[in-house]
Amino acid sequence: MAAHPAQESFDDFYRTTSRRVVHQVYAMTGDLAEAQDCVQEAYARAWQRWGRVGSMADPEAWVRTVARRVAVSRWRRTVTATRHLLRQRGEPVTPPPSEDHQLVVQALRQIPAAQREAIVLHHLVGLPVAQVAVETGAPEGTVKARLHRGRAALAQIIGPLDAPPDVRPDARADARPEARPDAPGGRS
């Protein structure tokens, strides 16, 4: 029995884009498991609306945007829950230790969310500035400024790549998204 054409279309779309979207969202969130969960939620929503989403010019951009919004919502719920626990217990709640992320992911987590988002969409996803502007809802000039500032900030954090690791600036251990008002998905 042959699959329904819409299902085949969605299955092909999922096979060809899901891995790439997971990597993109991972670069934005810095947490692979969280990125996978957010992307799966986004693809589930895309399947529910496949008649509309599948006919869009760029359904992958729709999925990426939904996944990013899911990540932001989860982050906000985590921050709210943590604040609630802090109030209830009267003592600091230490978040679970993060995984040993690659140097780039650590550096990305240290720059403002809007700059991180622009860098990921432009340099890792490969979108032109105009498309980054559409996806983020920011003017092109703002996207260009975020890219410029983000690259400069990353250069300060990472240092020269040919320098020995002990000469590079240390990744801040306290640069957890929970402790930052602008992580993930905020605007600057």
What are the residue boundaries of the structural domains of the chain, listed by start? 1-93, 99-188
pLDDT (tens digit, 9 = 90+) per residue, 42-85?
A: 999 999 999 999 999 999 999 999 999 998 888 777 777 777 66
Q: Tell whether the model's pLDDT for residue 99 goes beyond 60.
A: no
pLDDT (tens digit, 9 = 90+) per residue, 116-175?
A: 989 888 887 788 999 999 988 999 999 999 999 999 998 888 876 555 555 545 444 444
In sequence order, the 6+-apart residues with CB closer than 8 A to the CB of 121 are 24, 127, 131, 132, 135, 136
Which of these CATH numbers, 2.50.20, 1.10.1740, 3.40.50, 1.10.3470, describes 1-93?
1.10.1740
Distance CA 109, CA 183 (A): 8
**What is residue 51's predicted lDDT score, i.e. its pLDDT?**
93
Which of these CATH numbers, 1.10.10.10, 3.50.50.60, 3.10.50.40, 1.10.630.10, describes 99-188?
1.10.10.10
Give the other-Cβ count within 10 Å of 5's Cβ: 8
Evaluate whether 1-93 and 99-188 have a shared fold. Answer: no
144 CB burial (10 A radius; 0-12, 13-18, 19+): middle
Q: Please, what's the b/e burial string for 45-71 (b: 16 or more CB within 10 A of its CB; e: otherwise)?
A: bbbeebeebeeeeebbbbbbbbbbebb
* pTM for the predicted model, two decimal places: 0.53
